Each structure stands twice: as C-alpha cells, then as structure tokens.
Amino acid sequence: MNIQRIGFVGYGEVGKIFSKGLKGNVREMSAWDLKFAQAATRDAELAHAKEAGVVATGSMKELCESGELVISAVTASNTLAVAQEAARFIRKGALFLDLNSASPGTKQQAAAAIEAAGSHYVEAGVMTSVPPYGIKVPMLLGGTHAAELAPLLQSWGMDAKAVSDKLGVASAIKMCRSVMIKGLEALVIESYTTARAYGVEDHVLPTLQETFPSIDWSKQGAYFFSRVVEHGKRRAEEMREAANTVREAGFDPFMSAAIADKQQWVADLAKAGVFKGVGKGATWQEFADRVLAARKR
C-alpha cells in the first residue's frame, strides 16, 4: 500500500497533532474544518495550517477529491454526518479512517455510507488521550481493510493494531473502556468536590490511598479535573455514544448516561467562565473551590 496524500476532516487537537507527527511520511497533507470558514477563527486556523505545512482546503469536496487516505477526527456527535458527507465526494478506492469515539452501530452506519461510494472504511478505537502520546497513541483498527492499513500506519511510527475484520469490535473495546475511564473522572469530581464542601477531604483521600496504594489520588484528581474542564463537552458526547453502545447490547445505560450528564455539567461550568484563571498544574482543590463558589452564587 502506497499512500502519499492524506486529508484530515477536523483540524482540532487531534488533527493538528497527527498532521505534525506524520509530516515527512507523505507528499501532501490537507485539512478541512468548519473553523476555516468562520470569521472568529479563520485567520488563526489558516495561519496554523500554513506554518504546519498543511493545505487548508475550502470544502469537504475539495479535501476528499484529492485524499488517498481521509482521516476523520471530529467530535463524537458528528461521526456519522461527516462520513455521510464525505461519501458524496470521496475517491473510489480511497481509505476512510474513522478515529472518532462512537458506538459500533454508529460506526457501521458510517461504514455503509463510505462503502456504498466505492471506498474503504476502517474504524479506529483510540484507546487513551492523544496527548502526550501523539501519533504513538495506541489505536485498535477494525474492518475488512484494517489488517492492510495497520502495517502502513506502523511504518509511519503509529501504534496501530488490527483487532478484527468485523466492524464494531474496535469501537466496542473503546466504548467499554470509556465507561470506566470517564466514569472514574465523574466519580472523582463528584466525590472530591462533595468532600471539600464538608471539609472531610483529608479523611477521604487517605482511605482511597490505603485501598488503592498504586494511585496518587491527589495527583490523579487534579489530572481528571483538568481534562474534564478542558474537554468536558467532547467527553460528554463520547459518553452519549458509550450509552448507545450499552443500549445496542440490550441494556439500559444508567451509568453511562449519568456520566455523560456529569461531564456536560462540568463543560457548562467551564463555558460559563467558572474556571477562568485556573492555571496549568493546578491542584484538584483549586478546581473544586471554583465549583463550590459557583454553587453559592
């Protein structure tokens, strides 16, 4: 397999990191993002793309008509819509790699649209946060062309492993993990903030340390708070897809739905400016105090 032109749908955190990491492996990288067309973000995003050596295209059509490998890196809620739009323009025989956190059912619908256009769909389950791994973030691939694509991605320095030729397996692995990881984030935020409100955190955290001594609960708490404050909206969307995954398996997603609500709640606080000025490296107590102050207001 010889691919020399990559197109990124979505030039956010993941698109920027991947395009930087893959530079030099292919002849051309291009991207399409709605921010390229919005007055508030256009100049900064176009300047970033230019400096990174990425061709900023003017539409999905322009991106897909040139890309031999189209990589979708958007929010979970846009997974299917992006695949369906790309299917209108993607080249026959091109590969479409879907990095988005979506349920097996959503990925199967996306694949149906791409395959109907005469192109090839590969799902990816990105198994942890892209920073700080970059393109070396562990990814599980699924679909009939997963085993063919994995060695190419590995030759580019990526940690990609084909797990099944059946669509939905890689996504199911990713979504089941997300229930645990995003659930821990939600539990820590709720537990720590409540403990702070009662002034009992110095009693609660040592008991956690005793039960799970391999985890630095203060440090982990700060990390969980910071990631949810920064990416809560995206995490909430992912957890809604996790809830769909549970639902597709025939169960009521009581926990997944609640986790999505908690992630969205933090995202809404962040949007309202509750955490403005909380710097990098802040303790979990600083985040919790902002939540408590907002409650009082």
CB 126 within 8 A of CB 71: no
| pLDDT 10s digits, 144-202 | 999 999 999 999 999 999 999 999 999 999 999 999 999 999 999 999 999 999 999 99
Question: What pLDDT sits at residue 296?
Answer: 74
Question: What pLDDT sits at residue 217?
Answer: 98
| pLDDT 10s digits, 85-127 | 999 999 999 999 999 999 999 999 999 999 999 999 999 999 9
Question: What pLDDT sits at residue 137?
Answer: 98
> CATH topology for 5-166?
Rossmann fold (3.40.50)
Q: 171-296 belongs to which CATH class?
A: mainly alpha
Please, what is the average pLDDT of the chain? 97
Question: What pLDDT sits at residue 10?
Answer: 97
CB 144 within 8 A of CB 165: yes
- pLDDT of residue 53 exceeding 80, the answer is yes
Rounded CA-CA distance 86/101 in Å is: 18
Q: Which residues of 276-294 are buried (b: 16+ CB within 10 A; e: fewer)?
A: eebeeebebbbbbebbeee
For the CA atoms of the chain, what is the radius of gyration? 20
Question: What pLDDT sits at residue 241?
Answer: 97
- CB-side neighbour CA atoms (13 Å) of 259: 29
Percent of the chain scored above 90 by pLDDT? Answer: 97
Tokens for 195?
């403990």
Distances (CA, A) of 257 to 81, 116, 235: 22, 33, 12
Percent of the chain scored above 70 by pLDDT? Answer: 100
Question: What pLDDT sits at residue 1?
Answer: 83
Complete edge-to-edge strand list for the sheet that includes strand 139-142? 55-56, 28-32, 5-9, 69-72, 95-98, 120-126, 139-142, 160-164
Q: Exposed/middle/buried for 6, CB within 10 Å: 0-12, 13-18, 19+?
A: buried
CB 243 within 8 A of CB 257: yes
Rounded CA-CA distance 283/220 in Å is: 10
Question: What pLDDT sits at residue 197?
Answer: 97
Angle at 201 between CA 200 and CA 207, to 5 degrees: 100
Residue boundaries of the structural domains of the chain: 5-166, 171-296
- pLDDT of residue 297 exceeding 80, the answer is no
Q: Mean pLDDT, to the nearest integer, of 206-226?
A: 98
| pLDDT 10s digits, 256-275 | 999 999 999 999 999 999 99
Q: What backbone phi and psi angles, to 5 degrees, belong to 89?
A: -125, -15
